[in-house]
Amino acid sequence: MQSRINPQKFNYIGSATTDVYVCVARRDSGVRKFEDVLQRELVVGAAAEGGSARDFPQLLNRAIGAKFKIISGYPGNRETTLAVDRGEVSGVCGNSFGGLHALRPEWFAADSPVNVIVQESMTGHPELNQRGVPLAISYAKSDEQRSMLQLLYGELLFSRPFAMPPDTPSERVVAIRRAVADSFADPELLADAQKVNLEVVEPASGSEVQSIIARLYATDPDIVARTRAALKQ
């Protein structure tokens, strides 16, 4: 049954962070950089179809010719990362950088047992950009491939959104947007977020979220169909 909810009609008041997903590979896998996965197989753990750790590498396989072998069926990120530590699989792909950093901080230390080989994002994380970790979308060889990845990664630009009902008075939306934007810059809020390992990285304003959603819904229907087909098993 078709949903009667139209996300474009909501009044978005901001998003707490821009999410960045990554692919990592065990150092003993022989995969040091993303170009290696375009030439050789990397076994990655994932949950079920519909989850990012399964769908993101699947699209990289279908869209740009990556060679991820996806072992799905794990209950969640805790189990897939444990499988990497045990050597059951050689990596994970399509996991939040912030989530992995909180769950496996040792993976991002100087003597890390894994390599971060690519970022699945439109803009990348400041820390990973500084380290020179490339964006997966930079490997797209055609406008069609690029559009498919943009469709999947677009939602990560507003990964923690706040919204108000469609009939909210415009002056109230403006006031709440201003208050939310001020909160994201508040030193006490940022300090509290850091204490519990919550990232507030490049938050988006309400108008920015509104614009991103409008752009996603304007995607060529043929690109939407091709992306949906690529994500099927």
96 and 198 part of one domain: no
What pLDDT is recorded for position 3? Answer: 60
Count the helix, strand and coil residues of the chain and give each as a percent rounded to the nearest 5: 50, 15, 35
**CA 85 to chain CA mean position, Å:** 22
Compute the radius of gyration of the chain from its Cα atoms: 19
Domain extent, residue 202, equals 7-16+156-231
How many domains are there within the chain? 2
Angle (deg, nearest 10), helices 143-153 and 221-231: 70
Cβ atoms within 10 Å, residue 111: 6
* pLDDT tens digit at each of 233 positions of the chain: 456 788 899 999 999 888 899 999 999 999 999 999 999 999 999 998 788 999 999 999 999 999 999 999 999 999 999 999 999 999 999 999 988 988 899 999 889 999 999 999 998 999 999 999 999 999 999 999 999 999 999 988 888 889 999 999 999 999 999 999 998 888 998 888 888 777 777 888 999 999 999 999 999 999 999 999 999 87
Do the domain assignments include residue 151? no
Pair 86, 129 in one domain = yes
Q: Is residue 150 in some structural domain?
A: no
- Residue of 191, 201, 186 lying closest to 126 (CA atoms): 201
Secondary structure of residue 120 in the 3-state scheme: strand
Residue 223 in any domain: the answer is yes
